[in-house]
A and B are shown apart, each in its own frame.
Chain A
Amino acid sequence: MARIDLDHIRHAYGARTQKPAQYALKEVHHTFEDGGAYALLGPSGCGKTTLLNIISGLVQSSEGRILFNGRDVTPLSTQERNIAQVFQFPVIYDTMTVYDNLAFPLRNRGVAEREVDRTVREILAMIDLESWTNRKARGLTADQKQKISLGRGLVRADVNAILFDEPLTVIDPHMKWVLRSQLKQLHKRFGYTMVYVTHDQTEALTFADQVVVMFEGEIVQIGTPAELFARPEHTFVGYFIGSPGMNVLPVTLEGGTARIGTNEIQLHTAPTQAPNGTIELGIRPEFVRIGREGMPATVTKVEDVGRHRIVRAKVEGHEVAAILGEDDEIPAEPRMIFDPAGINLYADNWRVETAR
């Protein structure tokens, strides 16, 4: 196990370039602590897989260094870095048996056959494929194949880190849940450093202690699930996490008061310094109240999602979503209040610090 330091990593595919827009990764400077469970969360094409491949050495970053436990591993090959990685789509060696598939990474490294047997049987029990031990891996379902890929990632005990690249995409929902809790258990038991790439917020939030949110080749926020929910550092984090995502409305600011059109919203505290650029107000649907007081709103749609209802409304021409209890009623002339506790201010998409 190792602490992984990413030292000013930048990466551009193809020719070296000076234009920042052509970088798949724009400067990542971050430390994955030894034994931590991290999730890299972000939309497709945000650079999370690139970052993972740079850590494992499948991709050489254009700039920057990588250190494992303080040792510079940037020039080392994937083999020398001793990393396990599980890919999005199952990779199995289909001429081998299930057993040999799992033994392959160990045998390649010259592990004694007795030790191989012990470890492989343990992993087989964990991924619940004991009855398939001596079957050729060819005829398996996608689920089972991915379990083998996962198993191959877990079979080596001495790896520096285990990287997962959306490993549960092809697995059915129930099995997803089972495997995820097994991974979590493993993490608790052995204290592997784990980095888990996903675009599924539920997966990220349940798996990781620390979620790293990426957007357009940058890390926009690192935090616990609670922090990401309460204080999104970037409007993107607000949109991306939560269902539905955060409402973001353009406002004008006058000291401790924000204005949307003719409506005034009292803030808890004023920003520590007056921000420049486009000012926006972000509020999660959970903090929007609908009643007979506040700003006039027009309800455009009500979605019943079971435990609660999502109300889509318009305030001064801007879309606002609100979450309403199953039995709460919507008045004939609805009005809206933003709970000051849930308000964040943004200048050019980045959160403005307020004295709290």
Chain B
Amino acid sequence: MNKTWNNKAWFMVLPVLLLVALSAVIPLMTVVNYSVQDTFGNNQFFWAGTEWFQEMLTSDRFWAAMGRNLMFSAIVLAIEIPLGIVIALNMPKSGWGVPVCLVSMALPLLIPWNVVGTIWQVFGRVDIGLLGYSLRQIGIDYNYVNDPFDAWVTVIGMDVWHWTSLVVLLCYAGLVSIPDAYYQAAKIDGASRWAVFRYIQLPKMNRVLLIAVLLRFMDSFMIYTEPFVVTGGGPGNATTFLSIDLVKMAVGQFDIGPAAAMSIIYFLIILLMSWVFYTVMTNYDAER
């Protein structure tokens, strides 16, 4: 077979190569570069090898932040996924209620993240905030500035308020794609409400739920802006997540080497966890 060899064709991929290089490869390599070197300022760098990685992986500070992150993601997923499904199941399928529900669901998603943080920061304040003040008035000792538990409740409440809508919208899209005939057949077969959910609705939502879990896990694991605005990582280190710690280290203390090592570990963990979720859920899907 005669193929025409024309190496000029490679120029066609140049734009995308440039884009990917500038947006992903170069920044990532810069971080890799920092993670194996030490600096004392003046743009002087010294080879440090795996020293920063070792330091990170053996530091209590890193593992404590990591633990908080995992706990936060677990709680957020455990609340938002079931709650999202329940809300989606109860949304109207037709009529004027549909646009009303969809718009009110979409609203929290449209608010910039730092504004969400500001809203809750004010909302929870015990002196002027509606939530904080009301809780105080009914005799609950609530103060997210001093109490680690209250700070967690506030941060989780904020995330649930902000992101449950995403799960709802995804599930709703899955639900409305189910043809009426399925519900009719279920009625004929005498299926209970639970059986309809278990054998018709849940299987049809399977794919969108996979997307919802992946998105919510990644986003919650990388959370930064909202808790930073509300609690600034406090009280103490109670709500200092990996990303907040990372910024403290890199920008606050200018420890570029350890921060870079931490970024890489952080990145690898997110990659790994996403891969695990994806594999588990798609395998489960294929088995059936």
Asked if B43 lies at the interface with its beta carbon under 8 angstroms from chain A, I say no
Q: Are A89 and B181 in contact (CB under 8 A)?
A: yes
Q: Are B195 and A108 in contact (CB under 8 A)?
A: yes
Q: Are A105 and B184 in contact (CB under 8 A)?
A: no
Q: Which A residues lie within 8 Å of B181 (CB)?
A: 87-89, 91
Could you name 14 residue pairs across A and B whose Cβ atoms are closer than 8 Å?
A58-B184, A79-B190, A83-B188, A85-B184, A87-B181, A89-B181, A94-B288, A95-B203, A105-B189, A105-B190, A108-B189, A108-B191, A109-B190, A153-B188
A89 and B179 contact, Cβ closer than 8 Å, known pairs A94-B203, A105-B189, A108-B195: yes
Within residues 108 to 151 of chain A, which ones have a CB less than 8 A from any CB in chain B? 108-109, 136, 138, 149
What class of interface size applies to chain B in its complex with A?
10 to 19
Q: How far is the CB of B286 from chain A (nearest CB, A)?
A: 10
Cα distance A204–B192 when bound, in Å?
A: 34
Partner of A91, one of B185, B192, B203: B185
Interface string of B39-64 (1 = CB under 8 A from A): 00000000000000000000000000
Q: How far is the CB of B22 from chain A (nearest CB, A)?
A: 44
Asked if B267 lies at the interface with its beta carbon under 8 angstroms from chain A, I say no
Asked if B187 lies at the interface with its beta carbon under 8 angstroms from chain A, I say yes
Q: Are A58 and B199 in contact (CB under 8 A)?
A: no
Partner of A108, one of B182, B184, B190: B190
Cα distance A77–B191 when bound, in Å?
A: 13
Cα distance A256–B195 when bound, in Å?
A: 67
Chain B CB count within 10 A is highest, among A83, A105, A153, for: A105
A149 and B288 contact, Cβ closer than 8 Å, known pairs A96-B199, A104-B191, A109-B190: no
Interface string of A65-103 (1 = CB under 8 A from B): 000000000000111000111011101011110000000
Q: How far is the CB of A11 from chain B (nearest CB, A)?
A: 16
Cα distance A129–B195 when bound, in Å?
A: 24
Asked if B200 lies at the interface with its beta carbon under 8 angstroms from chain A, I say yes
Q: Which A residues lie within 8 Å of B199 (CB)?
A: 93, 95-96, 104
A residues with a Cβ closer than 8 A to B are: 53, 56-58, 77-79, 83-85, 87-89, 91, 93-96, 104-105, 108-109, 136, 138, 149, 152-153
**Further pairs besides A89-B181, A104-B191, A105-B188: 16, Cβ < 8 Å:** A53-B184, A58-B184, A58-B187, A77-B187, A85-B184, A88-B181, A91-B185, A104-B189, A105-B190, A108-B189, A108-B192, A108-B195, A138-B288, A149-B185, A152-B185, A153-B188
Cα distance A333–B53 when bound, in Å?
A: 103
Q: How far is the CB of A150 from chain B (nearest CB, A)?
A: 12
Cα distance A57–B204 when bound, in Å?
A: 25
Q: Which B residues lie within 8 Å of A77 (CB)?
A: 187
B residues with a Cβ closer than 8 A to A are: 179, 181-182, 184-185, 187-192, 195, 199-200, 203, 288
Closest to A81 in B: B188
Which 5 A-B pairs give the minimum distances between C-beta atoms? A91-B185, A108-B190, A105-B189, A78-B187, A93-B199
Cα distance A85–B191 when bound, in Å?
A: 14
Q: Are A91 and B182 in contact (CB under 8 A)?
A: yes
Q: Which A residues lie within 8 Å of B188 (CB)?
A: 56, 58, 78, 83-85, 105, 153
Cα distance A149–B191 when bound, in Å?
A: 15
Q: Are B187 and A79 in contact (CB under 8 A)?
A: yes
Cα distance A93–B204 when bound, in Å?
A: 10
Closest to B206 in A: A95
Partner of A87, one of B184, B195, B200: B184
Cα distance A95–B204 when bound, in Å?
A: 10
Q: Are A87 and B288 in contact (CB under 8 A)?
A: no
Q: Which A residues lie within 8 Å of B189 (CB)?
A: 104-105, 108, 152
Cα distance A79–B181 when bound, in Å?
A: 15
Cα distance A95–B288 when bound, in Å?
A: 7
Q: Which A residues lie within 8 Å of B192 (CB)?
A: 108
Cα distance A353–B199 when bound, in Å?
A: 56
Q: How far is the CB of A342 from chain B (nearest CB, A)?
A: 42
Closest to B285 in A: A138
Q: Are A136 and B288 in contact (CB under 8 A)?
A: yes
Q: Which A residues lie within 8 Å of B182 (CB)?
A: 91
Closest to A139 in B: B288
Closest to A82 in B: B190
Chain B CB count within 10 A is highest, among A58, A88, A93, A105, for: A93
Q: How far is the CB of B79 from chain A (nearest CB, A)?
A: 25
Q: How far is the CB of A4 from chain B (nearest CB, A)?
A: 16
Q: How far is the CB of A159 from chain B (nearest CB, A)?
A: 9
Q: Which A residues lie within 8 Å of B200 (CB)?
A: 93
Chain B CB count within 10 A is highest, among A84, A85, A109, for: A85
Q: Which B residues lie within 8 Å of A78 (CB)?
A: 187-188
Cα distance A312–B182 when bound, in Å?
A: 46
Closest to B192 in A: A108
Cα distance A235–B185 when bound, in Å?
A: 36
